[in-house]
Amino acid sequence: MAPKKKVVKRHTTKKKKSSFSFVKLVLLSFAGFLLAFVLGAVYEYKDGFLYYLGFKTDKHIEDLSKEDRKIADIRIYEVLQNHKNHAFGFDVSQYQSIIQWDSISNLEDEFKMSFVFIRATAGIDKKDVRFDENWKNSKKHKFIRGAYHYYRPNENSIKQAENFIKTVKLQQGDLPPVLDIEKLPKSQSLDSLKVGLRRWLVKIEKHYKVKPIIYSGESYYNDFLKEEFSDYPFWIANYNLWRKEIEEDWQFWQFSEKAKISGVKGLVDVNVFNGNIDKLKITCIN
């Protein structure tokens, strides 16, 4: 008689395959959830991520969707309410086109706009095409005004300072000049960038007899500027929803780039000063 064949039991293998498939499904589901969470966080806090990389969001956007507009308005009102004893202001450049200065009113109907920063120059040879009219009209309409220079890291710092000096004639009651630094250099080291920034600041202070203000994003400030330029006042941009209050060592905080102000076309940056209007006047040129 031929020997009987052994019966091969296969149910153990099926269980292993079934167990493996279940674990794989769980891991894939978790990975999908994690990816969705990261993408959601990036979208929610995209302004903060963009500032960390040295970019600003598009200033040419006319307005937001209804949902984004609602979120922006809630955020702006919350910050204004948290700082109701502080002075508020905005900043403009040629991207806002012609400004109807006589139409500008309180933000959210109750928070007065007391000051304005106006872009004057960029790099070694750029002058904002609307600087002269904005500079004149802001003074005419009783705003405390300040002028800023957009710094281009790969251009000569002394020539950039000379461009600003040639363009801006500060008067008593104006805010100190502002150096706007947002970009990382493409063709030089960070140490070289810091040398250039210091040269601009020193030349401007020597000319105007007042210490300039440095504007930058919060991450840029923390990573590259805070320690080595601690002897200067800072104007910091941070639009993230988790930021509720101005820091003690910030002179100004730009807390949103999505405000709507009557008389100004498109979206506008809004700022809070670290003090009331009387303290703000003390910081001005006298």
Span 109-164, pLDDT tens digits = 889 999 999 999 999 999 999 999 999 999 999 999 999 999 999 999 999 999 99
Instruction: Note the pLDDT of residue 105.
Output: 85
Q: Where are the domains of the chain?
A: 11-44, 61-282
Q: What mean pLDDT comes out for the span 227-247?
A: 95
Instruction: Note the pLDDT of residue 54.
Output: 38
Residue indicated by tokens 């809630």: 74
Query: Where does the pLDDT of residue 2 fall: very low under 50, low under 70, confident under 90, or very high at 90 and above?
Result: low
**CATH ID of 61-282, from 3.40.50.1100, 3.30.70.520, 3.20.20.80, 2.170.150.20:** 3.20.20.80
Q: List residues bridging with 219 in a β-sheet.
A: none
For 25-59, write each residue's pLDDT tens digit. 667 766 666 666 655 544 444 444 444 443 344 44
Instruction: Note the pLDDT of residue 33.
Output: 65
Q: What mean pLDDT comes out for the span 230-241?
A: 96
231 Ramachandran zone, left/alpha/beta (phi>0; psi -120 to 50)? alpha
Query: What single letter denotes the amino acid at residue 48?
Result: G
What percent of the chain clears pLDDT 70, i.e. is strictly above it? 79
**What is the phi/psi pair of residue 90, to 5°?**
-140, 175
Instruction: Note the pLDDT of residue 91.
Output: 97
**What is the phi/psi pair of residue 193, to 5°?**
-60, -45
